[in-house]
A and B are shown apart, each in its own frame.
Chain A
Amino acid sequence: MAERYNAIVIGGGHNGLTTAAYLAKAGLKTLVLERRSILGGATLTESPVPGYKFSVASYLVSLLRPQVIRELDLAKHGLQMAPSVGTYTAHWDGYLDRRTDHADTIREIRKWSHKDADNYDDFKQTVTDITRFIRPAIDIPAPDPYGDPHEWLDYAGLAKDFGHLPLRTKGALLDLITGSAYDFLSRWFEGEPLVGTMSASGIIGTFLGIKSPGTGMVFLHHYFGEIDGSFREWALPQGGTGAVATAIANAARFHGATTRTDAPVKQILLKGDRAIGVVLESGEEIHADTVVSAADAKHTFLDMLPAGSLPNDFERAIRNFKFRGSSAKVNFALDGLPTFTAAPPGTGHLMGTVSISPSPDYMEKAYDDAKHGHPSHRPFLDMLIPTLVDPSMAPPGKHVATAFVQYAPHKLAPEHGTWDDIKESFGDLVVDTISEFAPDFRNKIVGRQIMTPLDLERTIGLTEGNIFQGEILVQQMAFNRPVSGWARYKTPIKDYWLASSSAHPGGGIMAAPGRLAALEILKSKAGDE
C-alpha cells in the first residue's frame, strides 16, 4: 500500500491550498490532490494566447483574509499586490470616473446629480459602519441556531454591539440583509451610472437582478473587501490571480505539504461511517486519517461519496443547494489600449475597473434576459486592464483585458442549444458591447479566450459555472451554508470535512473557508487526544 497521510486535501484551489498549508504548519503530513495539471482552481493564471497571461477565471482580489497573508507569510512566498484604483463607468451621454481622490470623486458624481454628491459621504459612513460591525463574522465559524451555546460565544460581542448601533445603521443593516441592492442605493442616489455600477456589487455571481430582494446581501459580501488591513480596497496580484494560489502553494510546501497534480479523485474511501482515504481515477488508493474536500458541495457530497452513504435529509438539502451560474469570463489579448468615446484625457481611467453598467434599467434588463434563459442582449461587464499595473502580463507595449460578463445563464433556453454552440457569438456580443463605448476596441484584439459557464464547470470544476461554489443567497449563508446544522466544515461522514466556498463565509478569493476549516479540524484533533 502507498504512503499514509495525516490529511488529504482534495482540490488545489486557493481554499484547498490554504487548508493544506495550515494543517502542514501544525505538523500534519498533508497531501493536496489536484485534478488538473496546474494548481489554482479558479485562482488561475494561464497563457492560452502565447505571450499573454490571463487571470482565467477570477480577476480581482478584495477579500483575501489578512490573517492568511500574515499567518502563512505569503509576501515571503512571493505574493505581491498592487491596489486597483478607481472605477470608470461608460455611459451613452458621458462617463463617471471615480478614483481615490475624494474631492475629485464628489466632483464627478456632481456631474450627474447634486443630490448624489451631497449624500455620498453619508452613504459611505453608513456602509463603513455596517461592514465594520459585521466583518468579524467572516473570520469565525457560523454558529448554529440549535448548536452548542459555546458556538455563540464568539458572537456575543457582535450582539452587544448591535444594541449599541444607531437606529439608522441597524435599519440599514436589515435593509441590506433582506432587500435589494438597488433599493438600498436609491435611498441616497439617483444618477444612472453611479447606481448602475454600485448595484453591480449586488449581483456578481448570483442569478438575481439588482432589484431582486436578497441582492443587498451580495452587495454586503463585496463590501467586506479589504486588503491587508486597508479597508474597502481591491487589488491586482502581480502575475494575475494565479500568483495568489502559487504563493499559498509555496507556503504549504514550505511547511512540508506535498502537492500532486493530474490526480483526480474518483471516490472517498469509507470504512463504516468514517472516511479513511481516497481512490484516484487511476485506481490508486491513498489512505489518511482525515480527508478534506475543497471541491463544491455537489462534488463533495453527490459525486465523490458512494451512493447511500449520506442521511436522506442531508442529501436532499444538498440537492436543493442552488448553484445557477450566471456569469462568463472573456479575456482579450490586445495590441493597444482601447479608446473610450467619452472619457477624460490620458489613460488614468483605465487603471482601475472599467464598468459597462450605464444605468439601473440596463442592469435589470440584462437580468430579464437571463431569467428566460438567454444571454443578456447587452450584458453587464466589469473589465480590467492589468497590464497597466503589471506590464509583465503581456509582451512589451501590448495589453491584456479581462472581462467579467453577466448574465450568461448556465441553463439556456432550448432555442440556443448548448453553450458550445453559442460560445463564439457570445464572444462577439461582448466585443460589440465594449465597442459600443470604445469603437476601436474590436480592432485591437489579437486573441481572445471565452470561458462560458459550461467551460467554468468543465475546466475548473465549478458546478453550473457558479463562481462562488453555490449562490450567495441569504438562505445559503452563515448557518445555512451549505446545510443547516452542517455549516461548521464537519460533514455527516466522520473524518470528512468541507473546506470550499460552499461553506461559510462563501466565495471570492478570501481563503476564509479554507482557513476556518483547517482551524476546526485542528481543534477537533486536539480534542481527540
Chain B
Amino acid sequence: MAAKKKAAAPAEQKARNSADVIVLGGGHNGLVAAAYLARAGIKTILLEARGELGGMALTADIDGVNAPMLAHTVGRFRPRVARDLGLAGSVRLVEPEVRSFAPHPTNGTSITLYRDPEKSAKELEKRPNGKATAAGFLKLDGRLRRIGAYFEQVLDGVPPDLDGGKSVAEMLAGFAFRKPFTDLKEGDGREILRILPMSASDLVGEYIQHDEHLLAMLAWRGAIYNAVGPMSPGTAATMLFDGITGDGADGGAAGQTVVAIGGPGALATALADAARGFGAEIRTGAKVVAITEQDGRVTGVALASGEEIAAPYVLSTLDPKTTLLGLLGVEATGPDLRRRLRATRSSGVTAKLNLLVDKLPTFTAAGKGEAAEQTLRGRIVILESILGIEKAFDASKYGQISETPVIEALIPTLIDPSLAPDGRHIISCVVQYAPAVLKDGEWDEPTRKAFADSVVAQLEQVAPGITRLISARQLITPADLQSDWGATGGHAMHVNEGFDQFAQWRPLYGIGRYETTIDGLFLSGAGTHPGGGVTGAPGANAAEALIRHLRRAAD
C-alpha cells in the first residue's frame, strides 16, 4: 500500500500536479461534486479511471442505437442541483403519464399506475375487491406523499450529528433531522418513527390487503437494486425515499418514472460541461491506486501510471470499501473501522440486460396500437407476489441465480425515438436476483447466455414473440459492476440500502456525515447519504460539507 508516500508536493511543482481538492470518480456524483467545488472557486481535479465519464449513468451504443447502459431512469435527480448548476437548458427530462405497468406473468391480468393517483385508483377499482384496494392505494399514496415531503428536505443536507445533544429529545430529533421533522403534523411524525425500520411488505400490507399482485408491485420499490426482499425490515425506508414529493419531485406510492432525453449519459455530459464551465479539470483514464497521507492527513493521490497529484483534500465518490480499504492502509484507517466496514453489506444482486428489438413487441395485456405505446412508456414490472420475489431473493443468498428473477423493464425509445434511428427499440431490463459471486461456477459465457435466455423466456410469457425480434443483447452482471466499474461486491448502490445503512450510519456511524476520520478525506457517492440512484445529492451534499469546512478553516 502506497500510503506513506512523499509529503505535500513541492510548491514549484507544475500546477497540473496539484489541486485544492481531488475528486475521485467521474460518475454523476463526482461530476456534481466537482461542479459545486469549482463553482465555489476551489481548484478541483476530477479523476476517472474509465475512458468515459458517467459512471453508472451511461448511454451505450448498441448497433447504432443508444441504450441506457445501467441506470435507465433519472426521476430522483435533485431539482436544486439542476438549478444550482444551471442545467435547465442542457437536459430535458420527460415524465410519462404511466408510471408503471405490471403484466401478470401467468394469469393475463395487469395493473397500470399513473402519474395521477386518482386515475390509478379508478383503474384499481375494476379489479377483484377493487373498491377496498383503490381506497387503500389512495390512503397509502397520501401518507407517502406527506412523509415524502419531509424526506424531500432531508435529501439535501448533511445528516445531523447525534453526539453532543443536550437531551435524548434532541438526539431523537437529530435522528429525524430536526426542523423538517417538527414541521410535520404529529400523526405523520409518529408514522415516520414507526415506519422507518419496517419492511416494505408490512407497510404496504397495512393498506393493500386483498390484491397480492399490487402489494408486490408497490413493495418491490423497497427492494429494487438491493440484496433484500420486500419482507426484509428496513425496506420501507427505501420506499419512503422513492416516494419523495415536492420541489419538482413527485413520487407517492407508484414511485417515479422520469427519463432523460438522450439517455442518462446526456445528464452526465451536461454535468461534465457544467463542471468544466466552472473551471474544474477533468481527466479520464486516470486510475487512482492510493490516497497518500502523512500522519493521518491526506496529501494527495497516486495514479496507476506512477504519477502523483498533491492535494490537501480528497473527495471520493468511489464506493466506501474501495476508498477506505483499497486506497488507504491500516495505519490510516485503524483496525476497528476496517472491521466494521468489511462487514458492511455490499453484495450486489442486480444485473442489467439491454435488448435491441427490430420493432415494438406486443405485450398481450397492454393491447395494441397507440394506447399500448402509452402504457409501455412506464416501467414494466414483471413479478407475481411478495413470496415470489422472496423466493427469487432466497436463491441469491446462497450464491444461486434466481430461476424466476424480477424484471423491471423500460423502453426509452418510446419516449425518445431519437435514440434509435429506424423504428427499432431498446428494452432496458433491471434483473434481480443474480449474485455477483456464484456458489457453483462463474459468470462465464454459458452462464451469461443461460441467464439472459431465462430473462427473455420470462418476457416471452407477457410479450409473446419478443424472442424473434431481438437482434442484440447486452448483459451487465454484478460481477461486471465489480470488475469494470470498480464497485466492491458489484453493488449498483455501492452499499446496500435500507434502514440498517441509512442517513448518518451510511455507510457506517462515524463516517456517515461525509467527513471521515482521516483529515482531509471526504466520502461521497452512492455509499453515503442519501444513497444510490441518479440523484446527485451525495455529490452536492459532500461538496457543500467540504466547502463549509474550507471556509471555517480559512476564518
Residues of A bordering B, CB below 8 Å: 143, 145-146, 149, 152, 155-156, 158-159, 162-163, 167-168, 170-171, 174-175, 178-180, 183-184, 186-188, 208, 211-214, 313, 320, 322, 361, 364-365, 368, 371-372, 473-475, 479-480, 484-485
B234, closest chain A residue (CB): A213
Q: Mark B156-183, 1 if CB is under 8 A from A, else 0.
A: 0000001111111111100000000000
**A187 and B167 within 8 A (CB):** no
A381 to chain B, nearest CB (A): 22
A313, closest chain B residue (CB): B187
B398 to chain A, nearest CB (A): 7
B163, closest chain A residue (CB): A163
Please give, as numbers and ranges, the residues of chain A lying within 8 Å of B193 by CB-CB distance: 145, 479-480, 484
**A361 and B398 within 8 A (CB):** yes
Please give, as numbers and ranges, the residues of chain B lying within 8 Å of A361 by CB-CB distance: 398
Q: Mark B175-201, 1 if CB is under 8 A from A, else 0.
A: 000000000001101110111111000
Q: Mark B343-374, 1 if CB is under 8 A from A, else 0.
A: 10100000000000000000000000000000
**A156 and B233 within 8 A (CB):** no
**B500 and A145 within 8 A (CB):** no
A-B contact pairs, 28 of them (CB 8 A): A145-B189, A155-B168, A159-B167, A163-B163, A163-B165, A167-B510, A171-B340, A175-B340, A175-B505, A175-B509, A178-B197, A178-B500, A178-B502, A187-B339, A187-B340, A188-B339, A212-B232, A213-B499, A365-B398, A371-B231, A372-B387, A473-B198, A475-B196, A475-B197, A479-B193, A484-B190, A484-B191, A485-B190
- CB of B143 within 8 A of chain A? no
CA distance A168 to B387 in the complex (A): 37
Q: Return the contact of A371 from the options B342, B390, B398, B509 (Cβ within 8 A).
A: B390
**A183 and B345 within 8 A (CB):** yes
B391, closest chain A residue (CB): A372
Q: Return the contact of B198 from the options A143, A313, A364, A475 (Cβ within 8 A).
A: A475
Please give, as numbers and ranges, the residues of chain A lying within 8 Å of B162 by CB-CB distance: 162, 170
Q: Return the contact of A208 from the options B169, B196, B233, B343 (Cβ within 8 A).
A: B233
**A484 and B194 within 8 A (CB):** yes
CA distance A202 to B334 in the complex (A): 29
Q: Mark B233-245, 1 if CB is under 8 A from A, else 0.
A: 1100000000000
B35 to chain A, nearest CB (A): 32
**A156 and B167 within 8 A (CB):** yes
**A143 and B165 within 8 A (CB):** no
**A152 and B168 within 8 A (CB):** yes
CA distance A178 to B233 in the complex (A): 9
**B165 and A159 within 8 A (CB):** yes
Given known pairs A171-B340, A171-B510, the reply for A183 and B500 (CB within 8 Å) is yes
A-B contacts besides A178-B500, A480-B194, 17 pairs, CB < 8 Å: A146-B186, A159-B165, A159-B166, A159-B171, A162-B165, A171-B509, A175-B340, A178-B234, A178-B505, A183-B345, A187-B339, A208-B233, A212-B233, A364-B397, A368-B394, A475-B197, A484-B193
Please give, as numbers and ranges, the residues of chain A lying within 8 Å of B498 by CB-CB distance: 213
Secondary structure call for the A interface: helix
B130 to chain A, nearest CB (A): 21
Q: Mark B279-305, 1 if CB is under 8 A from A, else 0.
A: 000000000000000000000000000
Please give, as numbers and ranges, the residues of chain A lying within 8 Å of B509 by CB-CB distance: 167, 170-171, 174-175
B236, closest chain A residue (CB): A475
CA distance A313 to B343 in the complex (A): 40
**B505 and A171 within 8 A (CB):** yes
CA distance A431 to B3 in the complex (A): 57
**B190 and A179 within 8 A (CB):** no
A319 to chain B, nearest CB (A): 9
A186, closest chain B residue (CB): B343
B258 to chain A, nearest CB (A): 29
A217, closest chain B residue (CB): B197
Please give, as numbers and ranges, the residues of chain A lying within 8 Å of B505 by CB-CB distance: 171, 174-175, 178
B99 to chain A, nearest CB (A): 26
Given known pairs A183-B500, A371-B387, the reply for A213 and B232 (CB within 8 Å) is yes
CA distance A186 to B499 in the complex (A): 19
CA distance A480 to B168 in the complex (A): 16
B207 to chain A, nearest CB (A): 10
Residues of B bordering A, CB below 8 Å: 162-172, 186-187, 189-191, 193-198, 202, 206, 228, 231-234, 336, 339-340, 342-343, 345, 387, 390-391, 394, 397-398, 498-502, 505, 508-510
CA distance A450 to B195 in the complex (A): 36
**A152 and B169 within 8 A (CB):** yes
B257 to chain A, nearest CB (A): 28
Please give, as numbers and ranges, the residues of chain A lying within 8 Å of B345 by CB-CB distance: 183
CA distance A163 to B310 in the complex (A): 36
Please give, as numbers and ranges, the residues of chain A lying within 8 Å of B391 by CB-CB distance: 372
Please give, as numbers and ranges, the residues of chain B lying within 8 Å of A473 by CB-CB distance: 197-198, 233
**B387 and A214 within 8 A (CB):** no
A170 to chain B, nearest CB (A): 6
Given known pairs A145-B189, A170-B509, the reply for A475 and B500 (CB within 8 Å) is no
Please give, as numbers and ranges, the residues of chain B lying within 8 Å of A368 by CB-CB distance: 394, 397
Best-buried of A159, A183, A473 by chain B (most CB within 10 Å): A159
CA distance A114 to B33 in the complex (A): 44
Given known pairs A146-B186, A485-B190, the reply for A214 and B233 (CB within 8 Å) is yes
A371, closest chain B residue (CB): B390
A157, closest chain B residue (CB): B168
A214, closest chain B residue (CB): B233
B229, closest chain A residue (CB): A371
CA distance A55 to B389 in the complex (A): 39
**A179 and B387 within 8 A (CB):** no
CA distance A213 to B339 in the complex (A): 19
Please give, as numbers and ranges, the residues of chain B lying within 8 Å of A475 by CB-CB distance: 194-198
Please give, as numbers and ranges, the residues of chain B lying within 8 Å of A208 by CB-CB distance: 233
Best-buried of A156, A175, A475 by chain B (most CB within 10 Å): A475
Please give, as numbers and ranges, the residues of chain A lying within 8 Å of B339 by CB-CB distance: 187-188
Please give, as numbers and ranges, the residues of chain B lying within 8 Å of A214 by CB-CB distance: 197, 233-234
Please give, as numbers and ranges, the residues of chain A lying within 8 Å of B198 by CB-CB distance: 473, 475
Please give, as numbers and ranges, the residues of chain B lying within 8 Å of A211 by CB-CB distance: 397
Please give, as numbers and ranges, the residues of chain A lying within 8 Å of B164 by CB-CB distance: 163
Please give, as numbers and ranges, the residues of chain A lying within 8 Å of B206 by CB-CB distance: 320
B335, closest chain A residue (CB): A122
**B168 and A156 within 8 A (CB):** yes
A184, closest chain B residue (CB): B343
B184 to chain A, nearest CB (A): 11
B179 to chain A, nearest CB (A): 15
CA distance A253 to B509 in the complex (A): 51
B525 to chain A, nearest CB (A): 20
B171, closest chain A residue (CB): A159
CA distance A3 to B196 in the complex (A): 49
CA distance A186 to B341 in the complex (A): 11
CA distance A183 to B233 in the complex (A): 14
B164, closest chain A residue (CB): A163
A167, closest chain B residue (CB): B510
A204 to chain B, nearest CB (A): 16
CA distance A170 to B162 in the complex (A): 10
Which 7 interchain pairs have the tightest Cβ spacing?
Answer: A214-B233, A474-B197, A159-B168, A179-B500, A171-B509, A213-B500, A213-B234
Please give, as numbers and ranges, the residues of chain A lying within 8 Å of B343 by CB-CB distance: 183-184, 186-187
B150 to chain A, nearest CB (A): 14
A154, closest chain B residue (CB): B168
CA distance A368 to B400 in the complex (A): 14
B183 to chain A, nearest CB (A): 14
CA distance A116 to B197 in the complex (A): 30
**A158 and B190 within 8 A (CB):** no
Please give, as numbers and ranges, the residues of chain B lying within 8 Å of A213 by CB-CB distance: 197, 228, 232-234, 498-500
CA distance A208 to B199 in the complex (A): 11
Please give, as numbers and ranges, the residues of chain A lying within 8 Å of B501 by CB-CB distance: 179
Q: Return the contact of B190 from the options A146, A152, A175, A372 (Cβ within 8 A).
A: A146
Please give, as numbers and ranges, the residues of chain B lying within 8 Å of A371 by CB-CB distance: 231, 387, 390, 394
Please give, as numbers and ranges, the residues of chain B lying within 8 Å of A183 by CB-CB distance: 343, 345, 500
Best-buried of A156, A171, A213, A313 by chain B (most CB within 10 Å): A213
